[in-house]
Amino acid sequence: MNWDVGITELIAIMLGAVRAGAWLIICPPLNSRLIPPQIKVLLSVGIALPMTPYLRSTIPSIETSDLIACAALQVFVGAGLGFITALLFAAIQAAGDLIDVFGGFTLAMAFDPLSQSQSSIFGRFYNLLAVTLLFASDGHQVVLRGFMKSYEALPLNASLSLETFSRLLIGGVGEMFLAALQIAGPLIAVLFLTDVAFGLLNRVAPALNAFQLGFPAKIMLVLTLSGTAIAMLPSALDTLIEKAVSAVVQLYG
């Protein structure tokens, strides 16, 4: 079977695939190392194919220097869109890390097969749970649709506003920490009051070595009350998806 594809359509598809590829490398959960690079390349081409009619009329002149500059711009645009989304999704991992710090689980680091690095126990558990909820609620389609809209609003011959990107970047960092505290806040408050109680007990009866007894007590509290924080995860994930898509829309105007 022979396909008759014009040079203009081919260049439009390739430049669109470059933007999608840079986005897939950074944006969770598609940035997982478990997805082979060949699959990511095919996914980037598959994302760019439906948007060819919007991209065909916005490609630069067919010259080597112009095409290289446009490809570099698409890498920056895709990486910027993916980083804003990943920054907000990092709140789930940060919430689990906070629980590990206050609960004493940072003493036991687990190997993460997805990122091929060491990560905290509850941090990785929250991350896996968030990815499961994301696909179960079709949230990944909302994120993908928000990215594909960038081909219409931000064509190949346009550029990102660095002022808007820096403003969203600063705001995204604040939103990440705020969302992490909101998710893990109730459990952190309980663990803090537990530390205060054991501190008072240690002053009353120093021979009991209350802080040594506090480790199993805090672990029991974390395992018992973690369901409270997990119950808040679906609504928090919906809010994060909405903020991530909204940030992406603001980034390309």
Q: Which residues contact 15 (CB under 8 A, 6 or more apart)?
A: 48, 55, 59, 67, 70, 71, 74, 156
**Is 127 among the domain residues?**
yes
Q: How far apart are CA 100 and CA 97, in angstroms?
A: 5
In tens, the pLDDT along 54-85 reads 887 777 666 667 778 888 888 888 888 888 88
3 state SS of 63: coil
Would you say residue 171 lies in a domain? Answer: yes
Residues 6+ apart with CB under 8 A from 37: none
pLDDT at 5: 55
Kindly tell me if the per-residue pLDDT of 108 is higher than 70. no
pLDDT of res. 116: 57
Q: What's the structural domain count of the chain? A: 1
The mean pLDDT of 124-146, rounded to a whole number, is 81
Within-domain flag for 165: yes
Q: How confident is the model at residue 1 (pLDDT cuts 50, 70, 90)?
A: very low
- What does pLDDT average to over the chain? 77
Would you place residue 250 in the very low, low, confident or very high pLDDT band (cuts 50, 70, 90)? confident
- Do 57 and 16 contact (CB within 8 A), yes or no? no
Q: What is the average pLDDT across 205-229?
A: 72
* pTM of the shown model: 0.76
Domain for residue 43, yes or no?
Answer: yes
Q: Give pLDDT, residue 252.
A: 64
Whether the CB-CB separation of 99 and 105 falls below 8 Å is answered with: yes
The structure tokens listed for 140 are 């990944």
- Does a structural domain hold residue 2? no
Q: Does the residue 121 lie in any domain?
A: yes
Predicted pLDDT at 211 = 66
Quick: pLDDT tens for 171-199. Answer: 877 888 888 887 877 788 887 888 788 77
Q: In which domain, by residue range, is 88 found?
A: 7-99+109-251
Q: Does a structural domain hold residue 48?
A: yes
| 104 vs 111 pLDDT, higher one | 104
Within a domain: 59: yes
